[in-house]
Amino acid sequence: MLKYLTWLALLLALLAIAFELFRPPVRQVVMPSMPPPPAMIYVPELPPLQEEEPEVKEVVRKVLVPAMSVKIPSEAHFAGESVPLDTFYVRESFERELIVNTYFHSSTLMLMKKAHRWFPVIEPILAKNNIPEDFKFIALIESGLDNVTSPAGASGFWQFLKGTARDYNLEVNDHIDERYYVEKATEAACRYFLDAYNTFGNWTLVAAAFNAGPKRIRDLLKRQQVSSYYDLQIPEETNRYVYRILAVKTIFANPVTYGFHVKFDELYPQVPTRDVVVNHSVRDLVIFAQQNGISYKTLRIFNPWIRKDELPNHSGRTYTLKIPEVDHLRYSTLGDEPLPDAAKSTINP
């Protein structure tokens, strides 16, 4: 058996040698070298515009590509205080926030829409307390004008922590949280700003202190022996804070320059409400809402400071609940009545 296997292996080896000897040569084809394709930039064709939009048509004709470097204004101010844009790191920090907020289209667009509803509420309170109007942008960048809660527990438009809110006379408990009451929280923010201004005598440092805390800003100023926010080495979040305010302020003042084309009727309108004053406990807010011609959900939307479906009031405090006019809950009726001057938008659409 072993003998036959040996002969078989020898035969296979001879066949393999013969195949290699008589196999035709393989023809190699050399492809000519091709130059790389030229670099191309795709510019999307813009849809035709209607004749009734000549001002938008003119702007779109000037747009060459979707992404370009943003325009940096020759000067900038916060609360009447000049920004040293000639300092290279100030200019570049400002430009960074302009680019981020210009090209974060969805976020900035939503801020514009919501600001039209809420700035007319915030601005008169700031003015009454002698706070510069630019501070309205703090609420904008803190919360996006939404009643959000941060991982640290800061809540409401102005993002107060519980302890700070109570220090400034806001009621915070399981049933009531006035951090979500825009008017009262704005009043508390004004008291905070005035206290900080008494400490620093500078509105830019007041804004930084609202983010980092007055003690931290005071300690950093002392340690680094400087007196200006723009000279202060501070953590990243606070370092970007004022520049973000400046960027949003600049874009809001010149939306078309930064690519935002928003018509006035596309901004969120204010919803007229009436005040209902209660100085007693309300055991069932669902029934209370129905008695006022609205749903419990609508009641909570207009009074987010109510945290449960009941309103205990053992101390006889006075609460003012906002009840929307039912006829103005539909977009088809909103805007039918002219708003007072104080309620008009400060955005330039």
Q: Are residues 153 and 299 in the same domain?
A: no
What distance in Å separates the CA atoms of residue 339 and residue 307, rounded to the nearest whole number? 30
* Measured distance between the N- and C-terminal CA atoms of the chain, rounded to whole angstroms: 98
pLDDT of residue 66: 64
- Kindly report, residue by residue over 127-177, the tens digit of the pLDDT: 999 999 999 999 999 999 999 999 999 999 999 999 999 999 999 999 999
Which of 66-75, 218-227, 234-243, 285-294 is the least confident region? 66-75
Q: Are residues 257 and 278 in the same domain?
A: no
pLDDT of residue 12: 64
Evaluate if pTM is beyond 0.85. no
- Determine, yes or no, domain membership for 202: yes
* Domain end marker among 265, 289, 324: 265
Q: Are residues 282 and 252 in the same domain?
A: no
Q: Are residues 223 and 139 in the same domain?
A: yes
Q: Are residues 261 and 277 in the same domain?
A: no
- Determine, yes or no, domain membership for 23: no
Q: Are residues 257 and 110 in the same domain?
A: yes
> Tokens 């004749």 belong to which residue?
51
Q: How confident is the model at residue 18 (pLDDT cuts 50, 70, 90)?
A: low
- Kindly report, residue by residue over 248-275, the tens digit of the pLDDT: 999 999 999 999 998 888 999 999 999 9
Q: Are residues 209 and 107 in the same domain?
A: yes
- List the structure tokens of 283: 């055991």
- Determine, yes or no, domain membership for 65: no
Q: Are residues 261 and 149 in the same domain?
A: yes
Q: Are residues 110 and 225 in the same domain?
A: yes
CATH code assigned at 75: 1.10.530.10
Q: Are residues 240 and 281 in the same domain?
A: no
Q: Is the pLDDT of residue 53 over 90?
A: no
pLDDT of residue 42: 39
Average pLDDT of the chain?
Answer: 85
- Determine, yes or no, domain membership for 42: no
What distance in Å separates the CA atoms of residue 303 and residue 182, rounded to the nearest whole number? 9
More confident residue, 88 or 334: 88
Assign 178 to helix, strand or coil: helix
* Domain end marker among 211, 230, 265: 265
Q: What is the mean pLDDT of residues 28-44?
A: 43
- Determine, yes or no, domain membership for 345: no
More confident residue, 335 or 78: 78
Q: Are residues 86 and 212 in the same domain?
A: yes
Q: How confident is the model at residue 62 (pLDDT cuts 50, 70, 90)?
A: low
Tally the domains of the chain. 2
Q: Are residues 195 and 295 in the same domain?
A: no
- Determine, yes or no, domain membership for 47: no
Structural contact between residues 164 and 158, judged by C-beta atoms closer than 8 angstroms: no
* Domain end marker among 227, 244, 265: 265
Above pLDDT 70, what percent of the chain?
77
Scanning 145-229, the segments in alpha helix (DSSP H) are: 162-167, 182-200, 203-212, 214-224
Q: What is the mean pLDDT of residues 198-226?
A: 97
- Determine, yes or no, domain membership for 99: yes
Structural contact between residues 153 and 134, judged by C-beta atoms closer than 8 angstroms: no
- Determine, yes or no, domain membership for 300: yes
Domain range spanning residue 298? 273-333
What single DSSP character describes residue 37?
P
